Amino acid sequence: MVVQTNLSHRIIVLFFLLPLLSALADSASDSDLINELVSLRSSSPDSGVIHLYDDDVSKFLTSVPTPRPYSLIIFFDSVDLHSNSQLRLQKLRREFGLVSSTFISNNNGSNNGTKLFFCEIESTHSEASFHLFDVETLPHISFVSPTTENLTESDQMDGGDFAGLAESMTEFVERLTKLTVGPIQRPPLLTKTQIGIIVALIIISAPVLVKKILKGETLLHDRRIWLTGAVLVYFFSVSGTMFNIIREMPLYVKDYEDESKFVFFMEGSEMQLGVEGYTVGFLYTVVGLLLAFVTHMLVRVKNLNEQRMTMLLSLVISFWAVRQVVYLDNWKTEYEIYPYWPSSWRR
Amino acid sequence: MGGKSEPAKSESMATTTTSPDLINSSFFSFKSLKLKTKQQELLLRIAILGLVYILAFIARLFSVLRYESMIHEFDPYFNYRTTLFLTEKGFYEFWNWFDSESWYPLGRIIGGTLYPGLMVTAALIYWALRFLRFFVHIREVCVLTAPFFASNTTLVAYFFGKEIWDTGAGLVAAVLIAICPGYISRSVAGSYDNEAVAIFALLLTFYLFVKAVNTGSLAWALGSAFGYFYMVSAWGGYVFIINLVPLYVLVLLITGRYSMRLYIAYNCMYILGMLLAMQIRFVGFQHVQSGEHMGAMGVFLLMQVFYFLDWVKYQLNDTKLFQTFLRITVTSAILVGGIALGVGTASGYISPWTGRFYSLLDPTYAKDHIPIIASVSEHQPTAWSSFMFDYHILLFLFPAGLYFCFKRLSDATIFIVMYGLTSLYFAGVMVRLILVATPAVCLISAIAVSATVKNLTSLLRTKQKVSQTGSTKGAGSSKASSKVTLDQSQPFQKNGAIALLVGVFYLLSRYAIHCTWVTSEAYSSPSIVLAARGAHGNRILFDDYREAYYWLRQNTPTDAKIMSWWDYGYQITAMGNRTVIVDNNTWNNTHIATVGRAMSSNEDEAYEIMRSLDVNYVLVVFGGVTGYSSDDINKFLWMVRIGGGVFPVIKEPDYLVNGEFRVDKGASPKMLNCLMYKLCYYRFGELTTEYGKPPGYDRARGGEIGNKDIKLEHLEEAYTTSNWIVRIYRVKPPTNRL
């Protein structure tokens, strides 16, 4: 009997002790984990986003009992899909980095700084994690709260939160964590030293410039500069540079079927790729300038044979360029242009 | 020569007027007429111009031949409706017209919110014709206004070309612009839009201004001020003039080309033009209040500073003293100007730039911030193929023309170069602005063609007359060409010249072929009647739009309110004569967003919105049966975007699946249940559209729809046109309260 009661006592004691011990062990390992995350964050090369691998996911998420002392916000990235301009992965990743660096700088030193960590997982190294989070489409940003047990149920940032970029991502983070990220600090286009140098240069050169302008011997008075500028404006306009900028078109894309092949020209008059616009713009410019060259420069060449050869060459080049452009245009727009001869001429 | 000139002149008069005995005479030739070379040339020139005038008109009649004499597209219907009102009720009624039939329940003050130039022009032509006892319908006048003004534009182009280069360039420019697709696209018969008269006004203003700068005459400057007034009254694109002209003046000032002529031309044009422009109610005091017009005012003040400095320099003989004075004046002038601008903007007196203007300078602005501008197809950026389509060989000639202009730099060529480059840049940003660039491209290319051909032909001629190698009679007027003929004393044989000439003419003939084809096949469609090729190559016409609008007119109560996407607003009021919620004026973004929200909500929510707007009928355009691709389903994402811009409950990603817009089984649930989807695809699941495809196969999207069993609760189908392109639904009154 005695033995019995003794045993039951022990069991009871054990029952009381175990949670206490485990709690102690937990808090020790908690602070370890946080310290490790902080050191990972400070050693990460850009904006404090921690690059997680499959091991890290299990270490920081799956093997840690809930509630965890921190939340993670994870950006799922894939290098293979960077070339797909519609997904805007790289841009979103940059914005994500901005939110992260803003959060860190605003919460540095305070307690809140260790409650949220920004992470990224890349598909080629960590496919298992993608399965764990049930990520099928990108862009995908998940928020893992301290209480989330099943990672597939983590809160996902939806498209509306991407739309406004860093600002709306911030809203998403603040809504879920109740932490403040603060206003986004975008890096200025020019750093302070650069601005200083530019201002200094302007101040130094100002007297010289003013003197030159008054005398009328600046570049502004050189018509060759103006001509070059004019031709450049023309070139960039007709090659659809504005289209490329506004639509953020890439210069070329990879072939869907064969990865090693590149597609430079796209069918359909509503679309264009960067390279094709520049190619055609170049052809236009070449023909036009050749015409000017032949009528204004070539006549000054003294050697008769040279003149003839150059002339022939420029004629051939122009002919070829015009044919190319017309051919490309017909192919692209799928129009077949034909003259309307009188119907009696037709057989 | 002097003695002979009298009889020759009278004979040349006889040829231009009627003279039967001359035609009957057996020895009819130029020699017998004894026309001097100059007169022959004049005669030729007039004949060519006359032909070009007619050509420009008839090339634009393809649309009437292929369809019928009708008003095209969307905006022209509003212009037509207002013109009708103007001719029926008179000018004052028109000026004070409050239109309660559009933008229900807000209404629209028509007189104060439109550019009346086009309507007044058409009404004047109409009244003039009636005065001459030609009883035509106002619709015919409206249909033919655009070709008529295009013809006039060719004349202006001729004079402009003559002013900046020579008569040859003028003639070539007239021919090029007469058939240039970039211009034809906006000026075919029936395209009764502001641009139809505005391009004429634009070119006229520029021409008169350049003329004023070249001559320094007040009369030309006055003319250009009135040209500007006409432009302001006709089109919002006048902002281009009021910014390009000061920019041009500024460049002249910087490059040291300031002159008294420039001073007179600009001051007169700016002051008078500004005062005249203020008479247009829609423009009002913008010339002194809006940021877009401040550049012109700044340059105006700068001109005064220049004039003042010139005067002081004349008074002071000491150069050193003048230098100091110059420095102080320039600095203080810039300071004062900057402070005034800052204070004006900060106090709200000067309004900041509008979105449309801003999106021209920073092209990515509209895409991110103003979906209503970005949604319009003509506001899309231009791909290279559109340039090729609209300019064809002019693009090859343009750099050559630029080079020629720089070779012979003058105030006039500087202007045309600047006009060409700025407008080409703008054309790259928005497709519709190709229109503005067209005259400049034609003129610069004409310079290239004319100068080249002139050089080559004078070369051929000098070869023929070996004895007169030095004479440059034909090209005497042009410095450049005379230089060329002098330079090439020996080589550059005839063969080369002939080869080049053949090349140039080959290019020009290709241009003519291209323009004719493009005009006839691509730009003559009224887009209110749709054409397609049948299985046997025959033409099929879909006249569903008019069918639907006439149905509305005949079968609905006169005070019925129709809700549709804004594209069809003008057409419904003009042809259906019914009140609409929103139309193409797009002045109230919130109102349009409300409609967008209704279209993208589910039926219950949409019903609430429609009740609040008193909507009786809903009209949707659907291309699933015919394969018509610019229907409401394809425009739907823009409705979502515009609606979401005001009401954040509407989110674009909810309607997409993996960033893709789908209507089939994989479509998002929100998409399958929104009002637009239901109205478009109601009863569509029962219909077989294509042989070998399941019922409910959408031919415009190329897929089987995802929801074939659509039940409507608060709406009922009222009418569907014969090809299902337009579908009209009646909004049921609320059921009895229990």
pLDDT tens string A66-75: 778 888 888 8
pLDDT digits 0-9 by tens, B378-424:
778 888 888 988 998 899 999 999 999 998 889 999 999 999 999 99
What does the pLDDT average to over B717-735?
A: 92
Whether A205 maps to a domain, the answer reads no
Whether B382 and A159 lie within 8 Å, measured CB to CB: no
pLDDT digits 0-9 by tens, B158-212:
999 999 999 999 999 999 999 999 999 989 999 999 998 999 999 999 999 999 9
What does the pLDDT average to over A179-208?
A: 76
Whether A322 and B383 lie within 8 Å, measured CB to CB: no
Tell me the shortest Cα–Cα distance from A240 to chain B, in angstroms: 5
Q: Which of A216, A237, A318 sits opposite B428 (nearest CB)?
A: A237
DSSP B714: S
Q: Which amino acid is at A197?
A: I
CA-nearest residue to A139 within chain B is B658
Tell me the shortest Cα–Cα distance from B676 to chain A, in angstroms: 21
Identify all chain B residues contacting A87, using CB atoms and an 8 Å cutoff: 659
Query: Based on the domain organization, do A136 and A255 belong to the same domain?
Result: no
pLDDT digits 0-9 by tens, A21-67:
555 555 557 778 788 888 888 777 767 788 888 887 777 777 777 77
Helix (H, G, I), strand (E, B) or coil at B136: coil
Whether A325 maps to a domain, the answer reads yes
- The rounded radius of gyration (Å) of the Cα atoms in chain A is 33
Whether A246 and B363 lie within 8 Å, measured CB to CB: yes
Q: Which residues contact B715 (CB under 8 A, 6 or more apart)?
A: B603, B607, B618, B679, B729, B730, B731, B732
Whether A295 maps to a domain, the answer reads yes
CA-nearest residue to B426 within chain A is A237
Q: Which of B381, B398, B521 sits opposite A242 (nearest CB)?
A: B381
CA-nearest residue to B369 within chain A is A164
Q: What does the alpha-carbon distance between residue B670 and residue B677 come to, in Å, rounded to a whole number?
A: 10
Cα-Cα end-to-end distance for chain B: 105
Query: Based on the domain organization, do A66 and A156 belong to the same domain?
Result: yes
Kindly give the residue spans of alpha helices, DSSP state H, lying in B60-113.
Answer: 62-66, 75-89, 91-95
Query: Based on the domain organization, do A102 and A9 belong to the same domain?
Result: yes
Helix (H, G, I), strand (E, B) or coil at B701: coil
Identify all chain B residues contacting A319, using CB atoms and an 8 Å cutoff: 503
DSSP B468: G
Check residue B363 and give its pLDDT.
67
Tell me the shortest Cα–Cα distance from B504 to chain A, in angstroms: 10
- Mutation target for A interface from B62, B255, B327, B384: give the one with most A CBs within 10 A: B384
Query: Based on the domain organization, do A63 and A172 belong to the same domain?
Result: yes
Helix (H, G, I), strand (E, B) or coil at B115: coil
Identify all chain B residues contacting A329, using CB atoms and an 8 Å cutoff: 385, 388-389
Identify all chain A residues contacting B394, using CB atoms and an 8 Å cutoff: none
- Mutation target for B interface from A265, A337, A340, A341: give the one with most B CBs within 10 A: A337
Q: Which of A163, A234, A307 sits opposite B398 (nearest CB)?
A: A234
CA-nearest residue to A162 within chain B is B653
Tell me the shortest Cα–Cα distance from B470 to chain A, in angstroms: 16
Q: Which of B428, B500, B507 sits opposite A294 (nearest CB)?
A: B500
Whether B496 and A311 lie within 8 Å, measured CB to CB: yes
pLDDT digits 0-9 by tens, B454-493:
888 877 777 555 433 333 333 333 333 334 444 444 445 6
The band of A170, judged by pLDDT with boundaries at 50, 70 and 90, is confident
Identify all chain B residues contacting A226, using CB atoms and an 8 Å cutoff: 406
Q: Which of B383, B652, B654 sits opposite A269 (nearest CB)?
A: B383
Q: Does A64 touch chain B (CB under 8 A)?
A: no
> Looking at the 3D structure of chain A, how many domains does it have?
2
Q: Name the residue with higher pLDDT: B9 or B258.
A: B258
Q: Which of B387, B492, B507 sits opposite A238 (nearest CB)?
A: B387
Whether A292 and B404 lie within 8 Å, measured CB to CB: yes
Q: Is B226 a residue whose pLDDT tops 90?
A: yes
Whether B499 and A322 lie within 8 Å, measured CB to CB: no
Q: Is B20 exposed, middle or buried (0-12, 13-18, 19+ CB in 10 A)?
A: exposed
Q: Is A216 a residue whose pLDDT tops 80?
A: no
Whether A213 maps to a domain, the answer reads no
Taking only residues 200 to 229 of chain A, the set having a beta carbon closer than 8 angstroms to any beta carbon of chain B reads 210, 213-214, 216, 220-221, 223, 226-227
Torsion angle, alpha carbons of B252, B256, B261, B263, to 10: 70
Query: Based on the domain organization, do A22 and A170 belong to the same domain?
Result: yes
Q: What does the alpha-carbon distance between residue B478 and residue B458 come to, in Å, rounded to a whole number?
A: 11
CATH number at residue A51: 3.40.30.10
Identify all chain A residues contacting B478, using CB atoms and an 8 Å cutoff: none
Of A177, A207, A236, the position where a domain reaches its end is A177
pLDDT digits 0-9 by tens, A270-313:
778 888 888 888 998 988 888 888 877 776 777 777 877 888 88
Identify all chain B residues contacting A214, using CB atoms and an 8 Å cutoff: 323, 326
Q: B362 with B381: CB under 8 angstroms?
A: no
Q: B563 with B610: CB under 8 angstroms?
A: yes
Query: Encoding tokens for residue B364?
Result: 């990515």
Check residue B484 and give its pLDDT.
42
Query: Based on the domain organization, do A308 and A166 belong to the same domain?
Result: no
Q: Which amino acid is at A248?
A: E
Q: What does the alpha-carbon distance between residue A28 and residue A83 come to, in Å, rounded to a whole number?
A: 44
Whether A77 maps to a domain, the answer reads yes
Give per-residue burial for B140-157: e unless 16+ CB within 10 Å, then b: ebbbbbbbbbbbbbbbbb
Q: Name the residue with higher pLDDT: B558 or A306.
A: B558
Q: Is B15 exposed, middle or buried (0-12, 13-18, 19+ CB in 10 A)?
A: middle
Q: Which amino acid is at A93?
A: R
Torsion angle, alpha carbons of B100, B106, B111, B117, to 10: -100
Helix (H, G, I), strand (E, B) or coil at B337: helix
Taking only residues 116 to 175 of chain A, the set having a beta carbon closer than 8 angstroms to any beta carbon of chain B reads 137, 158-160, 163
Q: What does the alpha-carbon distance between residue B498 and residue B457 come to, in Å, rounded to a whole number?
A: 9
Q: Which residues contact A211 (CB under 8 A, 6 or more apart)?
A: none
Query: Based on the domain organization, do A22 and A164 belong to the same domain?
Result: yes
Strands B539-542 and B530-533 come out as antiparallel
Query: Based on the domain organization, do A157 and A273 belong to the same domain?
Result: no
pLDDT digits 0-9 by tens, A63-122:
777 778 888 888 888 877 777 666 677 778 888 888 888 888 777 767 777 778 888 888
Of A145, A177, A209, the position where a domain reaches its end is A177
Check residue B649 and give its pLDDT.
87
CA-nearest residue to B363 within chain A is A246
Tell me the shortest Cα–Cα distance from B19 to chain A, in angstroms: 33
Tell me the shortest Cα–Cα distance from A154 to chain B, in angstroms: 19
Whether A289 and B400 lie within 8 Å, measured CB to CB: yes
Q: Is B6 a residue whose pLDDT tops 50?
A: no
* Closest alpha carbon to B561 in B545, B544, B550, B576: B576
Whether B517 and A332 lie within 8 Å, measured CB to CB: no
Whether A70 maps to a domain, the answer reads yes
Q: What does the alpha-carbon distance between residue B41 and residue B25 come to, in Å, rounded to a whole number?
A: 23
- Mutation target for A interface from B322, B385, B395, B404: give the one with most A CBs within 10 A: B385
Query: Based on the domain organization, do A142 and A20 belong to the same domain?
Result: yes
Query: Based on the domain organization, do A157 and A271 belong to the same domain?
Result: no
Q: Does A284 touch chain B (CB under 8 A)?
A: yes
Q: What does the alpha-carbon distance between residue B150 and residue B183 come to, in Å, rounded to a whole number?
A: 8
Q: What does the alpha-carbon distance between residue B728 and residue B216 come to, in Å, rounded to a whole number?
A: 62
Q: Is the dihedral of CA B382, B384, B390, B393 positive or negative?
A: positive
Whether A193 maps to a domain, the answer reads no
- Longest CA–CA span in chain B (Å) reads 109
Residues facing residue A156 across a β-bridge: A142
Tokens 């979906």 belong to B371
Q: Does A276 touch chain B (CB under 8 A)?
A: yes
Q: Which amino acid is at A251?
A: L
Tell me how far the alpha carbon of residue B153 is from its chain's centroid.
Answer: 13
Q: Is A168 exposed, middle or buried (0-12, 13-18, 19+ CB in 10 A)?
A: middle
Whether B255 and A307 lie within 8 Å, measured CB to CB: no
Query: Based on the domain organization, do A232 and A172 belong to the same domain?
Result: no
Q: Name the residue with higher pLDDT: B241 or A306.
A: B241
SS3 letters across B537-594: CCEEEECHHHHHHHHHHHHCCCCCEEECCHHHHHHHHHHHCCEECCCCCCCCHHHHHH
SS3 letters across chain A: CHHHHHHHHHHHHHHHHHHHHHHHHHHHHHHHHHHHHHHHHHHCCCCCCEEECHHHHHHHHHCCCCCCCCEEEEEEECHHHHHCCCCCHHHHHHHHHHHHHHHHHHHCCCHHHHCEEEEEEECCCCHHHHHHCCCCCCCEEEEECCCCCCHHHCEECCHHHHHCCHHHHHHHHHHHHCCCCCCCCCCCCCCHHHHHHHHHHHHHHHHHHHHHHHHCCCHHHCHHHHHHHHHHHHHHHHCCHHHHHHHCCCCCEECCCCCCCEECCCCCCCCCCHHHHHHHHHHHHHHHHHHHHHHHCHHHCCCHHHHHHHHHHHHHHHHHHHHHHHHHHHHHHCCCCCCCCCHHHCC
| Range(s) of the domain holding residue A74 | 2-177
pLDDT digits 0-9 by tens, B88-135:
999 999 999 998 888 888 888 888 888 999 999 999 999 999 999 999
Contacts 24+ apart (CB under 8 A), A158-164: A158/B651, A158/B653, A159/B651, A159/B652, A159/B653, A159/B654, A159/B656, A159/B659, A160/B648, A160/B651, A160/B652, A160/B653, A160/B654, A162/A92, A163/B652, A163/B653
Whether B651 and A159 lie within 8 Å, measured CB to CB: yes
Residue A253, phi-psi category: left (phi > 0), alpha (psi -120 to 50), beta (remainder): beta
Whether A133 maps to a domain, the answer reads yes
